[in-house]
Structure 1
Amino acid sequence: MYDPVQGEGTQPSMPKRRRPSSSHCQDFLADGVPEVHQRLLEHVLANNARLSKVKIARLPHGIGIVASEQVKKNEEITFIPKSLLVNLHDIPFPNSSPIDHPTKVHSSLAAYIASQFHKSDNNDPFISIFPSFSSFKSSMPLFWSDEVLDNCSPWVRSFAIKQQAKLKDDYAHAVKMHGERGVEFSKEEFEWAWAAVNTRTIYYRPKKWYKVPAEDCMTMCPFIDYYNHDAKGDDSCTVSFSIDGLRVTTQKEYAVGEEIFVTYGDYNNDHLLVEYGFTLPNNQADNFNIDHWVLQKLSSRHQEILKEISFHGYAFTFSQTVMYSGSDLMISVDGDSEYLLDENEVCYRTMMALRLAVISENLLGKGKRYQDFMKLVEGGIEEDDYVKLYEKDENKVGELLEGILKSAEEFGEERTAALGRMLEEKEFLDQKESIESAVERWRQCMDIIAKYRAKNE
């Protein structure tokens, strides 16, 4: 389907490929998998993809990849050639190169996919397996109603609002760059394609793109996106890129029928929900963002100092930097800038913010206690020594933290109750799945608080 490119723009003549037999394709399909997936399988095999000991399978949580026989550690199980990649370096689409035009990769890639879908004779085997728009609308907070978002956690709500703004800007860009040049797609088709790009791209930087920002280095890869995410990075398969294509290699052994995973990164369930539209029930990387409640305990002067020493929380101001991280929008400020709680501990940033919070404003900038706090920040005093030296302050920190957790719990319980009432109203019947997802995320957050208390009593 896609014109392959080798080197810097040379267009080779490709040999005719034999269409794989249906019996050969069945080697890589488990029972009960819809026919549309066989079409894609035929397409990738006809274009020199190599698959080994894997099958596409229908699983309780959707379509995924399982082992068709015993798989060893460090075994290459999938190779997808560069000619099959869908990105703005390897597809024929005008005015889309981030090198030659002032384009946005996410926007232009979504415009390309939307334009292909728009064609009445569209028969693209890759695009045909994408989730429906109704599926994206129910699973991704980006498309949830204001009523549902207003009852989500502050982090989820704020991130979804930022995504909505980005989608709006990208659509305007796509219409200007491509729509005015005869490329046809509707707004709804673009939104659907934008969500598909956001949930299905991986990092990709061809040689020519050495000056392209990291957040614009994106590609979509048929078949590899069948592999589902697992937070266990040490066990999940690695996905590596070389000049000829992408490879999936195991890091552990797999038994017949066992699902094979890759990892999108060490992400908590908030990030997985807003970027990909799902959460993991046993996510080892999960935590709860408590910025909203920590910042309420800090005066403007306390916050100024925390900003100066790079210990200020996330706060979701709209001036923060956008960074690429597995999919197209991960916001980051000076690395790990959030105040986080997991089931075992409160993050060090949170403890530092609360330690400053218990120092009175009239003592900020002067006095031994403030000076010792700054020494702690700079590594001039050990944390254990500081805790012993200011034991009474540490007790206040503990009380302050407990107040924050209680406030977060009360907020979560109120929002969960409001979401529950919405489920009983006819007005929101068509939003049942999104409401249930929001409720589930709150339950996970409340569970984190409960487990933290149980382990730290």
Structure 2
Amino acid sequence: MENHIEFTKWVVAQGVVINGIAAHRFPGRGLGIIAEKNLKAGEVILSVPIKALRTIHTVPTEISKHIRGKTTTHALLAAELCLDTSPQFDLWRSVLPSVADFEESLPLTWDQSLQDLLPAAAKTLLLNQKRKLKLDWASISTAFPELDYNDFLYKWMIVNTRTFYYLSSKAKKKPARDDCMALNPFADYFNHASHGCTVTFASSGYTITTEAPINSGSEVYISYGNHSNDFLLAEYGFIMDSNAWDEISLDEYIIPKLSEKQKEHLKDARVLGKYVLDRETVCYRTQIVVRMLVLPLGRWRRFVDGNDDGEGDQGVVDGYLEGVLEEYRSDVQVKLEAISSLDVGLDSQRDTLKRRWSQIDILLQAALDRLKR
């Protein structure tokens, strides 16, 4: 932990204010933040000024001037991590996750046969990552042909997993959300929980405040957002055993059952796709699409327009939905068997996939139990 101690001294010298917390290695769980004293609710435990951040505006001109055409903040920050050899940046790099950490956890680095067995929502996110990475590498490698792809990939993954949402006061117009990124020293030690400390961003920088009392010796969390485990797996490389915001997509089990005409009606009503099941219920959009599949069009319209509460048809709707969920559960078992038959990748990668599909199975079974009451 010596390098983390030295890094902490350095960030304090950059104006970061740390109150009662420290970087800590938790056995079997990696790095995080620990409370070094009893913390009260509403206590500010970390303040990071703007000047301590690495943003699109801190990328040295020796790097940015070589870029021809538009590129992303993500690409520029990754290039800076590759090319800036200043001693202070070396200290920051020394406390970042290793290549091996990412190879174990992030699906982007997994064998293709394991990627193919990801749940649909995670697979869609992964495909988007690959598209972004390809474009970013094209722009950066053109400017710096001497760069090694694997090194850029590693730094690109650091940016993808470690940045905070950042909106510069210098921006003339609000950029795309994917471009609102900043590397945030020390704050990036925090691990995620469904409900964690409050992170506030202002023109002065970031402030992290406790929401509830925290005992000395306990891990201190922030929330990365209200994300499902599929999102957390694809973007950050982990899943949670208990995730208040977990949900699963039903799109691949419902949309193929629709005729083109039915899809047009749903599109007109702005409810085509994004059908999800969470820990408590199926979403209202799913109620709408299942009614499209089982009811006459006129009755469906009355429900969508709010002229029919749908109670009279709920039994038929629930019966059809049971069939959809049973079909999904059957496929989950196929996925689990396929994962068990593979001998590629790491044991931990296959274990994560099995755990995710088992979580999905539990969500499906719980929904079926609710429908059958």
**TM-score, normalisation: structure 1:** 0.76
Larger Rg: 1
Alpha-carbon distance in 2 for matches of 1:395, 1:299: 23
1:122 CA drift (Å): 8.6
CA contact (8 A) 2:199 2:209 kept: yes
Counterpart of 2:301 in structure 1 is 374
Which residue is equivalent to 1:306?
A: 266
- Paired residue secondary structure (2:213): coil
Kindly indicate whether the alpha-carbon contact (under 8 Å) linking 1:343 and 1:449 is maintained by their aligned counterparts in 2: no
Report the alpha carbon displacement of residue 128 of structure 1 after superposing the two structures with TM.
1.4
What's the counterpart of residue 34 of structure 2?
66
Corresponding position: 1:85 with 2:53: yes
> Is residue 421 from structure 1 mapped to residue 341 from structure 2 by the alignment?
yes
Measured in 2, the distance between the counterparts of 1:207 and 1:223 equals: 22
- Once the 2 structures are TM-superposed, how far is the Cα of residue 240 of structure 1 from its aligned partner? 1.7
**What is the match of residue 124 of structure 1?**
90
Q: Which residue of 2 aligns with 1:275?
A: 235
Cα deviation 1:19-76 (Å, max 9, x = unaligned) = xxxxxxxxxxxxxxx2221121121012221111112222242211121111111111
> Partner amino acid for 2:366?
K
SS in 2 for 1:106: helix
Structure 1 pair 159–213 and aligned structure 2 pair: CA distance change class (3 A): closer
Partner of 2:144: 179
Q: Which residue of 1 aligns with 2:292?
A: 356
| 1:339 and 2:266 matched | no
Would the aligned equivalents of 1:58 and 1:64 in 2 still touch at CA under 8 Å?
Answer: yes
**Range moving further from structure 2, 100-109 or 436-445:** 100-109
Secondary structure of 2:90's counterpart equals coil
Within the candidate set 102, 107, 111, 1:136 is matched to 102
Query: Where does residue 323 of structure 1 map in the other structure?
Result: none
Contact 2:121-2:248 within 8 A present in 1 as well? no
- Per the alignment, residue 253 of structure 1 pairs with 213
1:199 equivalenced with 2:161 (yes/no): yes
Corresponding residue of 2:357: 442
Q: Deviations over 1:52-104 (max 9, x none)?
A: 1112222242211121111111111111222210111134244649xx96221
Aligned to 1:287: 247
Query: What amino acid maps onto 2:192 in structure 1?
Result: H
CA distance in 1, matches of 2:305, 2:144: 54
Residue of structure 2 in register with 1:163 after alignment: 129
> 1:201–1:220: 8 Å Cα contact kept in structure 2?
yes
**Which of 51, 55, 65 is the aligned partner of 2:18?**
51
Task: Give the drift of 1:214.
Answer: 3.0
| 1:230 aligns to 2:193 (yes or no) | yes
Contact 2:121 2:231 in 1 (8 A): no
Q: State how far apart, in whole Å, the 1-side matches of 2:69 and 2:122 are.
A: 33
Give the one of 13, 16, 39 matched to 2:6: 39
| 1:139/1:278 contact within 8 Å kept | yes
Contact 1:88 1:96 survives alignment (8 Å): no
* CA–CA separation in structure 2 for the residues paired with 1:353 and 1:289: 14
Deviations 1:103-143, CA, capped at 9 Å, x for gaps:
21111111111223xx5979612111121122212211122
Query: In the comparison of the two structures, how many residue pairs are matched?
Result: 368
Q: What secondary structure sits across from 1:253 in the alignment?
A: coil
Structure 2: distance between partners of 1:421 and 1:214: 40
Distance (whole Å) between structure 1 residues aligned to residue 321 and residue 248 of structure 2: 14
Q: Aligned pair in 2 of structure 1 residues 95, 37: CA closer, same or farther (>3 Å)? A: closer
Partner amino acid, structure 2, of 1:149? Q
Tell me what 1:387 maps to: 311
Runs of 4+ in 1 over 3 A off after TM superposition: 93-97, 119-123
Q: What is the rounded CA distance, in whole Å, between the counterparts of 1:401 and 1:454 in structure 2? A: 12
Q: Does the 8 A contact of 1:344 with 1:455 survive in 2?
A: no
Identical pairs, percent: 30
1:220 aligned residue (183, 195, 198): 183
1:217 maps to a residue whose letter is C
